Structure 1
């Protein structure tokens, strides 16, 4: 339905949840703190969710997963070609860049300073001036070390930048950093859109939380596709997504409302129902018959003194609702 643009963002998002779940996560840097972690790959410009994967905890053998970030990126980008993947330092590695190049994908992302493939000259900040940049290149990868403050540097790795181009801004940021800042917020914007209009309700069942998240993300994807197909829809209005969700909800419930007005039946089921109605009208079942005058229930003890206006169809004794037994026509036959 939708082909993502040239930039795709891979990141993690936390769905708020505080119930009982074996793979519930605690992430103090997130607003919700507790919830279900979901890996997501989104279009960097439209926030269209291309692929999502729920993190279900460690494997059953108890051993931690090796190269988890690389595995997640390769799983989420399956089926894409010719795109640039933007990710943070949890995912970025030299091996990931090589594998993405084999799949005809490029990569831009920040790098952790403990990676063994980094040259020592890019890690040191001694005698570095503010807003200075150091570059390192090989056949496929490029590295940049940028100093935004004194004694602090930021490392980025890229497989789509082949030169050390620096912008003419006052902070002299390299082009690699500008491209990363422009594309890193695809998944974060998706979280913001889900939190703004959501169908979630308070629940302690994690499957319902996952299901409501699927509905919210599907509604966002439908809105993105609708806007691409109809770019002039509701032009000039600032609440386009709200209007779309209102029309979407009405369109989803209208067929069900129309169907419940008159329940459709096949000819075979209609014939069975007609025969049952004729049979029940000819032979009365064990239902109660009304009395002309209220009497005391003959089954209840005298101390209870229960008055009723019903009598048994067979023995004609007065009985109350507590001693009435209902049988269907099939059981009576």
Structure 2
């Protein structure tokens, strides 16, 4: 990857620079500022020294503006196909999109209970991929169909919805999305899948059963020809149609369920607050089907994953649609890594970190990986200066008037009036920021 400085030519960046960049992206999810430039402000109101120690604000913003996921040559070839069926709308995110999906599937295998639901990535960009969902907290954005573990909320697989005009539907988007995610060749069989009424249909559940995947979900009345009936609260009606169980349960409103692995009633009950004839509210037990209890317990895998992402999301406004996906992929990777940490801690009988503490530790480790001694030597050697090994190093002021001749320190990026006369490198030389000594320690180590 490389970025273009406005004052210079294209400058290559290293993997270590990219790690430092991602560390800052995650850090900005933990500590929120209104603008990206606020992280490098010198005023007493902000005074955040950590970002400038990792990377200069100019370099970070240049990487942000130049961030590109795909090969420009491939993009150019794809742009020639606009208006044809061969045009790929996801071309600009394809490499990372596929890599993150493969990594999610390879790093964890779900427990028996799984769920499929939609997820929205917030965006108000004018893009054909953008969707509107009135029932979601994030109403405008890019829609993803997600398969998540119901127990720990791990995002195991997902795909991006490209709209009706670009989808190769065979039996409807709800049917096709479930069959695409619940791929028994990758996932395996013996799972219990929970979905909401957008997906549930007799045809889908029968086809899943042939793959040895059980299913349970709420179902729309028009899909089974159901008509409303008057009945007291807690009333249960059911019927079977080959392997499918259809259950109607009277709660505050009618609840219709379809399942391929439940009994109609197991003797379970649920408490509801009911107003009596004397006007006094009291808890009362009502019978409830097992399908309703299991659905309430296991359907929220994707919602829990969304909540974990939302607490410290790294997503911020960007003019390019594909960068929104880059930041969301970072969110998925970090939250999945946090869930794996929780699972490993549980196996080893250890107390897991909170998500905030986990992100802080992750930032620190990425910064350490991106700020080793070679990180600084690379910038030094890139300017074609020989690495001095035996020469004496002498500090000098950049100009006679030290208040005017201040330049960016090569180590900490702060302004300094001092440079090394031998290395021709600007370095801080004050008690609190002795970058002069740190730089030459690294240079000496490299020369050895």
Return the TM-score normalized by structure 1.
Answer: 0.72
Q: Which residue of 1 aligns with 2:181?
A: 76
How do residues 272-283 of structure 1 correspond to structure 2 at under 5 angstroms?
A: none
The answer as to whether partners of 2:265 and 2:288 remain within 8 angstroms in 1 is no
Larger Rg: 1
Give the 4+ runs in structure 1 shifted more than 6 A: 62-65
| Cα deviations by residue, 1:33-87 (Å, 9 ceiling, x for unpaired) | 2111111010011000011111111234x99764211110111122222111100
The answer as to whether partners of 1:18 and 1:204 remain within 8 angstroms in 2 is no
Q: Which residue of 1 aligns with 2:361?
A: 247
Residue 17 in 1 paired to residue 123 in 2? yes
Residue 148 in 1 paired to residue 251 in 2? yes
Residue 256 in 1 paired to residue 361 in 2? no
1:31 to 117, 130, 137: 137
After TM superposition, the structure 1 stretch with the greater mean CA deviation from structure 2, 225-234 or 199-208, is 225-234
Q: Which residue of 2 aligns with 1:219?
A: 334
How do residues 33-48 of structure 1 correspond to structure 2 at under 5 angstroms?
A: 33-48=139-154
Q: Which residue of 1 aligns with 2:274?
A: none
Report the secondary structure of 1:91's partner residue: coil
What's the RMSD between the two structures over aligned residues?
2.7
Report the secondary structure of 2:134's partner residue: coil
Higher relative contact order (CA 8 A, sep 6+): 2
Distance 1:12 1:28, change over 3 A: same
2:205 to 92, 97, 101: 97
After TM superposition, the structure 1 stretch with the greater mean CA deviation from structure 2, 100-109 or 253-262, is 253-262
Return the TM-score normalized by structure 2.
Answer: 0.54
Q: Which residue of 1 aligns with 2:229?
A: 125
Report the secondary structure of 2:251's partner residue: strand
Distance 1:86 1:190 in 2: 15
Distance 2:376 2:168 in 1: 57
Distance 2:361 2:260 in 1: 43
Distance 1:139 1:175 in 2: 19
The answer as to whether partners of 2:313 and 2:331 remain within 8 angstroms in 1 is yes
The answer as to whether partners of 2:169 and 2:176 remain within 8 angstroms in 1 is no
Structure 1 gaps, min length 5: 278-333
After TM superposition, the structure 1 stretch with the greater mean CA deviation from structure 2, 179-188 or 225-234, is 225-234
Distance 1:220 1:171 in 2: 38
| Cα deviations by residue, 1:241-291 (Å, 9 ceiling, x for unpaired) | 1111111122223222213122299xxx99xx69x99xxxxxxxxxxxxxx
1:3 to 84, 109, 117: 109
| Cα deviations by residue, 1:107-129 (Å, 9 ceiling, x for unpaired) | 000001111xx265xx3313x22
Report the secondary structure of 1:114's partner residue: helix
Report the secondary structure of 1:226's partner residue: helix
Distance 1:234 1:166 in 2: 38
Q: CA deviation at 1:198?
A: 1.4
1:157 to 258, 282, 287: 258
Distance 1:74 1:48 in 2: 19
The answer as to whether partners of 2:170 and 2:176 remain within 8 angstroms in 1 is no
Distance 1:64 1:96, change over 3 A: closer
How do residues 226-241 of structure 1 correspond to structure 2 at under 5 angstroms?
A: 226-231=341-346, 235=351, 240-241=354-355
